[in-house]
Structure 1
Amino acid sequence: MYYFLCVLAVTDLVLSTATLPTILNNFWFNSREIKFSACLTQLYFIHSIALIESGILVAMALDRYVAICHPLRHSTVLNNLLVAKIGLAMMLRGAILVLPYPVLASQWPYCRTNVIPYTHCEHMDVVNLACADIRVSRYYGLFVLFSFYTPTIFGSLTTRFGLNIPQHIYILISNIYLLVPPMINPIIYGVRTEQIRNRLLQLLTLKLP
């Protein structure tokens, strides 16, 4: 569980690092431009880290299942080697599945407006600017999103099918699923873990006069 919590914390940190500077640039310095290569890089990290995070949450659920249903066999079933393999598989899953996103997006010709109504680069918002048949990107994106996070599916479907959703609601939803989980994950999975909570209380007690 501690290994998974560590990986979850790192993924949350990377996700915030990939998006927060752009968002702050937009609001603080009115900087509304990003290079195409940087946009594709941000796009890749956003979607790959989100996939890695979902895999880590599944692995944590498996760890809790074994701990509750087979407590005496927990250390033998989920040994260090298996945990390392699970973590590596989740990271490769996210890194490989999302790789076609920027690869395909970089191949399309772009002749329309270069304005994205977003604070960051989203996959479908970028490829929708292309002057080509982007059905490959659309279908592959839906395949990757199947049984994925609900806010992501909502945002993806509204982009694909042009649902009549107010733009500010659309942007709010996209920012929520990028910024809120990294803020609440340490509370849900860290502070609520008894050993971590007790250690934090010990540290706070030692610092008090």
Structure 2
Amino acid sequence: MESSTEQPEPLGTLIEILEDAEYKVEQPLPGVLRVQGRFSNTERIALQAAADAGDQPVAIWAISHHDDWTLAAWDRPELVTITQRGPAPQRWRHRQLPPQLQPNAPTFLEGAASRFDIVTRPKHRPTDAARAVLESFGITEPAPPGWEPPVVEAPPVVESTVPVDTKPTRSPSGRTRTPKEPKAPAKPEPVVAVCPTCFMALPATGVCDNCG
């Protein structure tokens, strides 16, 4: 009589490690884990989980309680990470690791650049090679299933007026100062007509008394 033994889950040990850390773990696709918990550095969680898988190919979505996320796809030597923080653009990074390095190397956990990075211009943009790594896990879009980008609302416009102080002011001596009324405009001086010949003032008749 033949006996059959149940094959262990390839990522069973990794799932136990994550659940022991009190993270919620789901497996939406074979070799793909979705990890949620109260953490802020999603890239660090995803890279550490990839390292805990050893050389087992794995893709991990790490989603924080702020709804930020990182997807780390690890299939030695290929390591692809995509990070989304709030409404900022996605940050792609593709590395090719030598045999002695793991995804949780300090340089990678700190988010720093390394000589193992495949540099793109502009920086941190997706490449066909990086997308091919995701597709090997059955992932066509880097965002976690069901995730929606946050809606950024413009701040409301608040109109405010500066109150006008109508109270009389007091001088240092304690006397109340009342606002001075504006002075009336000065009356223009009358224009006196003069004779164009002798330059004497003309009478009201307009005829010069000297010149006629």
**TM-score of the two chains, using structure 2 as the length reference:** 0.28
Q: Could you tell me the TM-score, scaled by structure 1's length?
A: 0.28
User: Whose relative contact order is higher, 1 or 2, with alpha carbons under 8 Å and at least 6 apart?
Assistant: 1
Which is greater in Rg?
2
